[in-house]
Amino acid sequence: MARRTPPEDPFVENIIDIDVSQEMEGSFLEYAYSVIYSRALPDARDGLKPVQRRILYMMSEMGLRPDRGHVKSARVVGEVMGKLHPHGDAAIYDAMVRMAQDFSLRLPLIDGHGNFGSLDDGPAAPRYTEARLAAAALTLTDHLDENVVDFVPNYDNQLTQPEVLPAAFPNLLVNGATGIAVGMATNMAPHNLGEVIAAAQHLIAHPEASLDDLMRFVPGPDLPTGGRIVGLDGIREAYLTGRGSFKTRAKVEVEQLSARRTGLVVTELPYLVGPEKVIEKIKDAVNSKKLQGISDLVDLTDRNHGLRLVIELKNGFNPQAVLQQLYKFSPMEDSFGINNVTLVDGQPQTLGLLELLRVYVAHRIDVVRRRTAFRLSKKQARLHLVEGLLIAIVDIDEVIQIIRSSDEVAAARERLMAIYDLSEIQANHILELRLRQLTKYSRIELEKEQEELLREIAELERILGSEQILRELVSSELGEIATKYATPRRTVLLESEAISPTVAKALAAASTGKAAPLALEVPDDPCWVLLSASGQIARTTGQEALQDGGGRSKHDVFLSVIATTARGEVAAVTSAGRMLRLQVVDTPVLPPANGLPNLAGGVPAKEFVTLLKGESLVSFVPIDAVVALGTANGVVKRVTPEYPLNREDWEVISLKDRDAVIGAAAAGDEDELVFVTEQAQLLRFPASAVRPQGRTAGGMAGIKLASGDTVLSFGVVAAEDPEAVVVTIASTSGALPGTSAGSAKVSEFAEYPAKGRATGGVRAHRFLKGEDVLLLAWVGHGPAKAASAAGVARALPTEHGRRDGSGVPLTQSIDAIGPTL
């Protein structure tokens, strides 16, 4: 058995005692430093973490441009891991996937091909997916070869990588960021590219701009998935201090799913909330009896129509009340906490909107300055060579003879420099040219190139010589990026959301079992609900808003003006004979402009009321008054205000086939009802001639119609109104609206005698040559205003109609008539 030989030198133990707490502290600080600066936090200049920057840079070096084909994601991951980021393929692929998801980034930087995941599911493996750079990403990496940023060694000092990307747009604000470091974290919301660039341009032009100035351009985040942001106080706090929070809500519309079923249709969800999570939470809340009134939930999401969750409601439940419960017990309402922690000059800082834009603007100005200086040096170097060629080409034969007669290159260079007073660079350039290149140069071409170089050098020197010109260049380049890549805002910003009385009672009943009212967020002040001819709904406050005789800005006419209160209710009457309950508090407020409301800022009626196919909104009426209805077939009805309290819509008249409601208004016994037909027949009779009936009644005969005639207008005139007028617009039968000017007539309502109900009435308009039908008619408190289809105000005749009963010829088309407010 072999014997072990002892070592020549005796082994000496060297054990060092250390303090475990000090070792842990030092090691942990090194680890924390690495996480903060090399992994978790983005740079405030380009808005990228190191792994994201390395991915984009390596894909740019690989030539994966938008005009070229996709390559396997695994190839990109391998290149990045092997050359720049040796931290594992999973981390690289996860970062790459996020930059390709249009629901994570407002402006995706990678064009992915394949399954890059969804809000509920992860992506496919990198061997299955393919990727290339998106067009917007090229603007982040452009001009890297022009010394615009510093390059640093990679992990093994064999290659170099950019310390920061040039970033032609504020990527950090546009796409946001999220990351967890050691002892700190960042969570930044995405914003709209056009708004952020507009703010940056304003800051470039006005370096001393305040936060309020910038918030005129950037009112709040613009999330990739849309939705609604409720409450802007937290956003302003975040823009001021770098920390804040806001609530996001899903976009929900109330739709009539069937003749007896109403549903809530969700088309947008809060940021980073997936539909499967919402469905699961809703089902759990329904099973636990937290949610009431839901009968079914169907996910109809597909690639063509996008997100569509249909929540079917039980009969008798208020859709708005159920929606409020959904906000409370499901992820359809979520909170987003802003924490703008980012690296500035290598140090983590918490920045507000103003500071973030200042850091980016300073970076972009430095990039453009360095790019301009690089181009200037290149142009100057080329000009130096061109000047040398111009000297040599004058005596090209002698130059060739000098080169051929020289024993070596050094001797030829010295002779050229001595004879033609060339620099060493110029002489070397001439010596390196082939003989055929020397002969092809023409003096005209070189002189033209020299002039162009001198012009470009002068322009570059002008930019470098003026800070103002440099800033204007940066601003113009930002404007080009906005023009090319900016998209409309997706997220709606709401200062607050009020709770209507019906919703408050429903919520209280759902939570306590008693119909006790909850505290309301808006005062019950007087207001007026407005409906325009184009279907715009709004409300306005202030007594001056309803002054008579005043002008107003360009828009279509008002059809209904109902006095109510901010927490009150009004009813909307449709052409199908339905009445819909409308909460006034849900309508948008239009502040009076120059003392008068402008419905150009109204909201379409479909946002508030659910209309069936072929149904249109006729008028607003008080919900607690007797309402008179007139139909196209001449039927009249007065409805008693005995409406169901637990329903949002109901039938107020039983219509026969091919009949429709033409007009509706509150009518007391002392008022008068007026019909106007297409054949220009007008009938007025007292409202007391029509006894009030219940909701299901079919009404009674109002006007006797001639063969082929139909009712064009129905209205209510207050008793003994001295300013009541009749406006009629004549045209040619079969003419499309707006194609025939026709004639207009304005006459006093008092001129028409009252007749009995169910009679034919009297003639209201004598047709001119070529006219045979009334196109429009309106009766009410005057004066009246007309509008075209585009909403442009049109003047009506200032004097009453001619004595012969004919109208005044019109030179412009009129598509709507209503009272002047």
Class for the domain spanning 522-819 = mainly beta
SS3 content of the chain, % helix, strand, coil (to 5): 35, 25, 40
d(CA 727, CA 712): 12
CA distances to 57, 147, 357 from 155, rounded to whole Å, are: 15, 21, 31
Architecture in CATH for domain 378-477: Orthogonal Bundle (1.10)
User: CATH number of 48-166: 3.90.199.10, 3.30.1600.10, 3.30.590.10, 3.40.1360.10?
Assistant: 3.90.199.10
In the predicted model, is pLDDT for residue 555 greater than 70?
no
Residue closest to 103 by CA, chosen among 86, 115, 90, 117: 117
Which alpha helices (H) appear in 129-274, and where do they start and end? 135-141, 171-175, 193-205, 211-215, 233-241
Three-state SS for 254? Answer: strand
- Backbone region of residue 48 per phi and psi (left: phi > 0; alpha: psi in -120 to 50; beta: other values): beta
How far apart are the C-alpha atoms of 632 and 661, rounded to whole Å? 6
Q: Are strands 793-794 and 724-731 parallel, antiparallel or unpaired?
A: unpaired
Give CA–CA dist 398/592, Å, rounded.
Answer: 87
**Residue that is written with structure tokens 């499967």 in the block:** 276
Q: In the beta sheet, which residues pair with residue 188?
A: 177
Highest mean pLDDT (candidates 13-17, 495-499, 765-769, 817-821):
765-769
Radius of gyration over every alpha carbon of the chain, rounded to an integer in angstroms: 38
Contact 280, 290 (CB under 8 A): no
Q: Where are the alpha helices (DSSP H) in 603-738?
A: none
* Stretch(es) of the chain classified as CATH 3.90.199.10: 48-166
pLDDT of residue 705: 92
Residue 672 CA to residue 683 CA, distance in Å, equals 10
Q: Are 85 and 110 a contacting pair, CB within 8 Å?
A: no
Bigger pLDDT: 799 vs 664: 664
Q: For residue 350, what pLDDT is reported?
A: 93
| Residues 6 or more apart in contact with residue 652 via CB below 8 angstroms | 573, 577, 578, 579, 627, 629, 637, 639, 695
Residue 594, pLDDT above cutoff 60: no
Q: Which residues, at least 6 apart from 787, have a Cβ–Cβ distance to it below 8 Å?
A: 533, 555, 556, 557, 793, 794, 814, 815, 816, 817, 818
SS3 85: coil
**What pLDDT, on the 0 to 100 scale, is given for residue 520?**
27
Which pLDDT score is estimated for 611? 84
Instruction: Please give the Cα distance from 480 to 420 (Å, whole number).
Output: 47
CA atoms within 13 A on the CB side of 750: 8
CA dihedral sign, ordered 140, 145, 150, 151: positive
- The segment(s) of the chain belonging to CATH 2.120.10.90 are 522-819
- Written as six digits, the tokens of 389 are 């060629």
The rounded distance, in Å, linking the Cα atoms of 743 and 775 is: 10
List CB contacts of 177: < 8 A, sequence separation 6 or more.
42, 47, 49, 186, 187, 188, 342
Q: At what angle do helices 89-98 and 73-83 cross, to 10 degrees?
A: 120
Banded model confidence at residue 547, pLDDT cuts 50, 70, 90? very low
The pLDDT mean for the chain works out to 85
| C-alpha distances in Å from residue 176, one per residue of 110, 188, 392, 732 | 15, 5, 58, 60
Q: Would you state the structure tokens that stand for residue 4, as one six-digit string? A: 């072990």
Structure tokens at 317: 């439940």
Indicate the fold that domain 248-336 takes in CATH. Answer: Gyrase A; domain 2 (3.30.1360)
Closest CA to 613 of 578, 562, 567, 564: 578
Residues of the chain with CATH 1.10.268.10: 378-477
DSSP letter at 302? B
pLDDT of amino acid 599: 62
- CATH 3.30.1360.40 placement within the chain: 248-336
Q: Are 315 and 325 in contact (CB under 8 A)?
A: no
* Residues constituting the chain: 821
Residue for token pair 């110029």: 426
The residue whose two tokens read 């809500």 is 249
Q: Over the stretch 186-217, which tens digit does the pLDDT of each residue have?
A: 999 999 999 999 999 999 999 999 999 999 99
Tokens standing for residue 223: 């999330």
Residue 29 has a pLDDT of 67
Angle, alpha carbons 416-419-421 (nearest 5°): 80
Amino acid at 224: P
Distance CA 149, CA 363 (A): 10
C-beta of residue 355 within 8 angstroms of C-beta of residue 422: no
Q: How confident is the model over 54-68, as a mean pLDDT?
A: 95
Residue 705, SS3? coil
Burial class (CB in 10 A: 0-12, 13-18, 19+), 515: exposed
Query: Which candidate, 247, 483, 206, places its Cα nearest to that of 357?
Result: 206
Q: CB of 744 within 8 A of CB of 726?
A: no
Check pLDDT > 70 for residue 587.
yes
Which residues on neighbouring strands pair with residue 186, listed in sequence order?
A: 179
Tens digit of each residue's pLDDT (9 = 90 or more) over 386-404: 999 888 888 888 888 888 8
The model's pTM is: 0.63
- 8 Å CB contact between 341 and 243: no
Tell whether the model's pLDDT for residue 104 goes beyond 90.
yes
The residues that are catalytic are 128
Asked if the model's pLDDT at residue 804 lies above 60, the reply is: yes
**What is the average pLDDT across 621-627?**
92
Structure tokens at 759: 């009679």
Q: Position 817: which residue type?
A: I
Instruction: Flag whether pLDDT at 481 surpasses 60.
Output: yes
